[in-house]
Amino acid sequence: MTQSIAIAGAGLLGRLMAWKLLCRGHSVTLFDNGSRQGELSAARVAASMLAPYTEVASAERRVFDWGLQALDWWPGLVAELTEVTGRDIACARNGSVVVAHDLDKANLRHFQQQLQAVVPDQMARVESLNRARLAELEPELAARFNEGLYLPDEGYLDNTALLAALTEALTAGGVNWCEHTAVSEVAPGQVKLEGGWQAFDWAIDCRGLGAKDQLTGLRGVRGEVLWLHAPEVDLTRPVRLMHPRYKLYVSPRPGRRYVIGATEIESESMAPVTVRSNLELLSALYSLHSGFAEATVEHAFAHCRPAMPDNLPVVQGETGLLRINGLYRHGYLLSPHVVETALARFDEMNDLRRVSA
Ligand SMILES: Cc1cc2nc3c(=O)[nH]c(=O)nc-3n(C[C@H](O)[C@H](O)[C@H](O)COP(=O)(O)OP(=O)(O)OC[C@H]3O[C@@H](n4cnc5c(N)ncnc54)[C@H](O)[C@@H]3O)c2cc1C
């Protein structure tokens, strides 16, 4: 049965939920305080790495298990969107490389120990690299690094292309997209706009940090990234540099573009990127590959990751209402699990509604 569904927030979760519900034949209205470009979302600035191994070093085992599902889920969604829009969306699963300078080898060892502690059964999927093997995987790093780790199951997505494809597919599919429309409250079957409450069969709150007033414990964790064009650098997969002070990552994009990140600061400030963060990220980057010296900075973004006190995602449901949030630094990694969990709750509660009607 077709139901009318309001989704507050058109970032990562809002768009994914809208697409899944649209595909099931529902009538979807999407509200966002920004435009369809998603310029106010964390989704837009993210490095969008799919990195269950590197992320689990500082997270629970569940994050790893949920993250593994994502590696099989995204290619299916990307294929669907490509079929509808004709857009190419880079979605690679060619692994990632972790390196450390000789002086910082202890940090690489520590990372390996963390993996051993959380995913001991997966260590066969963690390959130690010597210089020769590193040269096969990422030749441009072999001059500076003597060892590293290869995590063959990791990958990344081109979030710019993905969000654009979702915009196109949702628009073509008939979603009623209300841009520049702030939602101040979400309640069962209704959303509150400037002009008052609007009624639907369902209301789904996907406002990320914008849901703070209605989700106890939600906080923002600031992150800063630089988007570079580096014609002199040819890296084919995400690379992490283990360093005693800054943990740097480089996530590739088509056309020798790279997302460089990211700081992690317990602050909800959305102020522009600071000089200190730039200095830290760029000096670590130059120590990774001197070809970045000639790169141009195309964007410097700062945003806040929406996080719960335990840094795990939350799906809360009651009849006519879902609140989905807390993706923290794992939005692309965990959204497949979270979206499927939310859809299962939606079905469960619809069944209950039918039985009690
Ligand atoms: C620097 C950085 C790097 C990251 N890198 C990665 C990574 O490599 N891999 C990974 O998996 N994850 C990464 N993430 C995390 C990921 O981006 C987030 O977890 C994810 O975007 C959260 O999705 P969301 O839909 O909950 O929130 P968002 O994507 O922020 O979307 C929320 C939407 O709601 C809208 N909104 C807010 N308030 C209102 C309101 N009152 N009314 C209407 N609309 C509203 C916002 O404008 C926005 O469009 C990164 C995040 C940051 C900040």
pLDDT above 90: residue 58 = no
Tokens of 101: 């300078």
One-letter identity of residue 350: N
Confidence (pLDDT) at 247: 81
Confidence (pLDDT) at 190: 98
Of the candidates 64, 66, 68, 50, which has an alpha carbon nearest to the alpha carbon of residue 120? 64
Range(s) of the domain holding residue 258: 96-152+219-307
Residue 13 sits in a domain whose CATH number is 3.50.50.60
Of the candidates 6, 16, 2, 57, which has an alpha carbon nearest to the alpha carbon of residue 341? 16
d(CA 199, CA 117): 49
Confidence (pLDDT) at 353: 79
Average pLDDT of span 49-63: 93
**Among 5-14, 249-258, 260-269, whose mean pLDDT is lowest?**
260-269
Atom of ligand 1 nearest to the CA of 221: 53
Q: Are 12 and 41 in contact (CB under 8 A)?
A: yes
Domain identity same for 119 and 190 = no
Domain identity same for 166 and 299 = no
Mean confidence (pLDDT) of the chain = 96
CA of 306 to the centre of ligand 1 (A): 7
d(CA 250, CA 284): 11
Binding site membership of 238 for ligand 1 (Cβ less than 6 Å): no
CA of 262 to the centre of ligand 1 (A): 15
Atom of ligand 1 nearest to the CA of 211: 38
Domain identity same for 229 and 345 = no
Largest CA distance in the chain: 69
CA of 25 to the centre of ligand 1 (A): 26
pLDDT per position as a tens digit, 128-177 = 999 999 999 999 999 999 999 999 999 999 999 999 999 999 999 999 99
Q: Tell me which of 268, 287, 307 is where a domain ends.
A: 307
- Ligand 1, atom 20, lies closest to the CA of 331
When divided into structural domains, the chain yields a total of 2
Average pLDDT of span 233-252: 93
pLDDT above 80: residue 67 = yes
d(CA 219, CA 205): 16
pLDDT per position as a tens digit, 257-295 = 999 998 899 999 999 999 999 999 999 999 999 999 999
Domain identity same for 83 and 32 = yes
Confidence (pLDDT) at 243: 87
Domain identity same for 339 and 297 = no
DSSP at 124 = G
Domain identity same for 142 and 47 = no
pLDDT above 90: residue 244 = no
Binding site membership of 342 for ligand 1 (Cβ less than 6 Å): no
Confidence (pLDDT) at 356: 80
Q: Are 102 and 120 in contact (CB under 8 A)?
A: no
- Ligand 1, atom 51, lies closest to the CA of 46
Domain identity same for 36 and 73 = yes
Atom of ligand 1 nearest to the CA of 225: 1
pLDDT above 90: residue 352 = no
| Mutation probe of ligand 1 site: the residue of 66, 177, 332 with most atoms within 8 A of C-beta | 332
Domain identity same for 301 and 314 = no
| Mutation probe of ligand 1 site: the residue of 56, 91, 305 with most atoms within 8 A of C-beta | 305
Percentage of residues in the chain having pLDDT higher than 70: 100
Of the candidates 335, 332, 257, 253, which has an alpha carbon nearest to the alpha carbon of residue 50? 332
Domain identity same for 134 and 100 = yes
Domain identity same for 225 and 199 = no
Atom of ligand 1 nearest to the CA of 303: 53
CA of 39 to the centre of ligand 1 (A): 10
Binding site membership of 48 for ligand 1 (Cβ less than 6 Å): yes
d(CA 307, CA 318): 21
pLDDT per position as a tens digit, 296-347 = 999 999 999 999 999 999 999 999 999 999 999 999 999 999 999 999 999 9
pLDDT above 90: residue 16 = yes
One-letter identity of residue 258: Y
Q: Are 95 and 125 in contact (CB under 8 A)?
A: no
The label of the residue with tokens 């600061």 reads: 265
Confidence (pLDDT) at 279: 93
Domain identity same for 133 and 192 = no
Domain identity same for 78 and 172 = yes
Binding site membership of 219 for ligand 1 (Cβ less than 6 Å): no
Residue 282 sits in a domain whose CATH number is 3.30.9.10
Confidence (pLDDT) at 355: 81
Strand order in the sheet with 185-187: 185-187, 190-193, 196-199
pLDDT above 80: residue 357 = no
Beta strands in the chain (DSSP E): 4-8, 27-31, 49-50, 91-92, 96-100, 127-130, 147-151, 155-157, 176-178, 185-187, 190-193, 196-199, 202-205, 219-229, 239-242, 248-253, 257-261, 296-307, 314-318, 321-325
pLDDT above 90: residue 195 = yes
CA of 43 to the centre of ligand 1 (A): 4
Atom of ligand 1 nearest to the CA of 334: 11
d(CA 147, CA 131): 6
